[in-house]
Structure 1
Amino acid sequence: MDKTFVRVYSLFILFFVGIGLLMIYKAPPSHKTDRAEQGTAHTLGEVSQSPLENPMIPIPAGEFIMGAEDGGMDEQPQRNVYLDAFAIQKYEVMQHEYNAFVEGTGHRKPLNRYVKNIEYFNHVNQPAIYVSWLDAYDYCAWRGFRLPTEAEWEKAARGTEGLSWPWREKFEASFANFKGDSDQGVFTMVAGSYKKDESPYGIYDMSGNVREWVQDWYNDQYYLSAPIKNPLGPQTGEEKVLRGSSWRDSLYAGRASGRLKMTPGYRYEGVGFRCAQTVNVDMEER
């Protein structure tokens, strides 16, 4: 057989095999989502690479509505709870913040080479993930802060009016970083990307992005006997409380009153945290 013909034929076969592989190949997921296209979120390419500041936002003393009569059994009964003034971080603790803790103390790194799609989680302003309750506790203590109580977290998320969601409008899946039906390959987003996911106090991502550790031990019957002033949760337990929802969770999970339990050593790509602190100022809710 003519050598020239063989070469041309071989190139012809390789060309069509290559086309077939390209059609089969699925590119890595992008941070750009349907929601970003709707203008409710920013993509990584649109945000600054400079580390964001994460200030403490003061929450005045006063009553708020905690729990939900139409929620899970562990969210009942709904009741009015009084909290002293406190402050809580505007954003979930970010990668650059947690990395400073790791470098300064030699603490375990949350992300490592075994994490799937690690390149989609390590932007400096994305939330720190794969952190256990113990990791979160140690970080906040290192900063001179603490984890928020379950009651503090809920008040910061819903305000005093008992909102089911941090925003005041009708619920839309595009308002926060949830796992929606139209999302493909959605991961955590840069802090504050979803402008609708802002609480009445100006705190971001309390409904979506990542679930958040709080101080309390979990008990599904705790609300039945909990104090109505500055509840601190059960004195002992086996599991800690997680609040909020994440990019891995359904829309319903993001309600401000929703509760989840996990062991203190649990680490996951949809779990992070934020810190709080006691405020020694007599601020009253207006």
Structure 2
Amino acid sequence: MIQAIPDILEDPEQTGTLQERVAAARQLGEADPRAGVFVRIEAGSFLRGTDPPDGEASEHPQVRVHTSAYEIAAAPVTVMEFARFVAQGYADRSLWSEPGWEWRSRTGAVRPRFWDDPGWRAYLGPNQPVVGVSWYEAEAFAGFASARLPTEAEWERAARGEDGRRYPWGDGWDPARAHHRGGARHTLPIGCFPAGRSPYGLWDCAGNVWEWVQDPFGQGGLRAARGGGWNAHPPQLRCAHRNGWPEPARFSNIGFRLAR
């Protein structure tokens, strides 16, 4: 049964402690109503990237970019959502790209990395973001869910709005608004930082997990990931920051969200 979101997880002033918010989110568990919700973003433009000397070379320069209308998930894909794919779609060849199916056949993967390891139980709460998934698995799940991965431009616009802000909440760094290095050494349930929501109301665009997106990153089979994970440093949580990993990478700090 879907539950109402507790006030402590909706309060933009974020008056409760992090421990209280995490406990409230864990209570929602499989009934978390934020999982699988999409936010519509109308066609329009936004400031993408960063002007030097700020940021990194891959972000330069800041330019105004237009996107068509789209929908994007309010939160990263959760363990419980991905578990449905494992049970009902992981073995369906039609959901995988040719390189993805070749990777799955070669590795013998049948579920995300870590799921069979008792040492990783801290990552496996039903409404925690799924991690230990390759770009191929994220792409196949998107097909299963009748969706897709967002482009970098779509992801960045949803995270920062139109005004070019550094973080989803504004220009100033605030360690209380995101899950990053120095906190728990694992993921937290989605949506534990209401004061860190983006201008469009998205949860966890800064911290908790890096998020695979559609775009290649540089050369050599890398794919871009955005947002910064639970062990990322503050500059990596900026909306314009870009990172990339090989498509087969299955790390404890990389998940994804959907678009359509």
In the alignment, the residues of structure 2 paired with residue 162 and residue 37 of structure 1 have an alpha-carbon distance, to the nearest angstrom, of 27
Structure 2 gap segments, 5+ residues each:
1-13, 92-109
- Following TM superposition, by how much is the alpha carbon of 1:238 offset from its aligned partner in structure 2, in angstroms? 1.6
In the alignment, the residues of structure 2 paired with residue 98 and residue 47 of structure 1 have an alpha-carbon distance, to the nearest angstrom, of 19
Contact 1:51 1:96 in 2 (8 A): no
- Following TM superposition, by how much is the alpha carbon of 1:60 offset from its aligned partner in structure 2, in angstroms? 1.2
Rate the CA distance shift 1:115–1:270 in 2: closer, same or farther, 3 A.
farther
Contact 1:148 1:214 in 2 (8 A): yes
In the alignment, the residues of structure 1 paired with residue 129 and residue 191 of structure 2 have an alpha-carbon distance, to the nearest angstrom, of 10
Contact 1:215 1:241 in 2 (8 A): yes
Q: 2:45 aligns with which of 53, 57, 63?
A: 63
Residue 233 of structure 1 corresponds to: none
Q: Percent identity among equivalent residues? A: 31
In the alignment, the residues of structure 2 paired with residue 112 and residue 212 of structure 1 have an alpha-carbon distance, to the nearest angstrom, of 18
In the alignment, the residues of structure 1 paired with residue 73 and residue 173 of structure 2 have an alpha-carbon distance, to the nearest angstrom, of 24
- Following TM superposition, by how much is the alpha carbon of 1:111 offset from its aligned partner in structure 2, in angstroms? 4.2
Structure 1 gap segments, 5+ residues each:
1-35, 220-235, 278-286
Contact 2:138 2:212 in 1 (8 A): yes
In the alignment, the residues of structure 2 paired with residue 54 and residue 114 of structure 1 have an alpha-carbon distance, to the nearest angstrom, of 25
Residue 47 of structure 1 pairs with residue 27 of structure 2: yes
In the alignment, the residues of structure 1 paired with residue 113 and residue 248 of structure 2 have an alpha-carbon distance, to the nearest angstrom, of 15
- Following TM superposition, by how much is the alpha carbon of 1:106 offset from its aligned partner in structure 2, in angstroms? 3.8
Residue 258 of structure 1 pairs with residue 241 of structure 2: yes
Post-superposition CA distance 1:195-222 (Å, at most 9, x none): 1221000000011100000000112xxx
Equivalenced residue count is 223
Residue 225 of structure 1 corresponds to: none
Q: Say which structure is richer in helix.
A: 2
Residue 174 of structure 1 pairs with residue 141 of structure 2: no
In the alignment, the residues of structure 1 paired with residue 16 and residue 234 of structure 2 have an alpha-carbon distance, to the nearest angstrom, of 18
In the alignment, the residues of structure 1 paired with residue 211 and residue 189 of structure 2 have an alpha-carbon distance, to the nearest angstrom, of 16
TM-score normalised per structure 2:
0.80
Q: Secondary structure in 1 aligned to 2:83?
A: helix
What's the Cα RMSD here?
A: 2.0
Aligned AA (2:27): V
Q: 2:224 aligns with which of 225, 232, 241?
A: 241
Contact 1:111 1:118 in 2 (8 A): no
Q: Larger Cα Rg: Structure 1 or Structure 2?
A: 1
Aligned AA (2:84): A
Contact 2:40 2:71 in 1 (8 A): yes
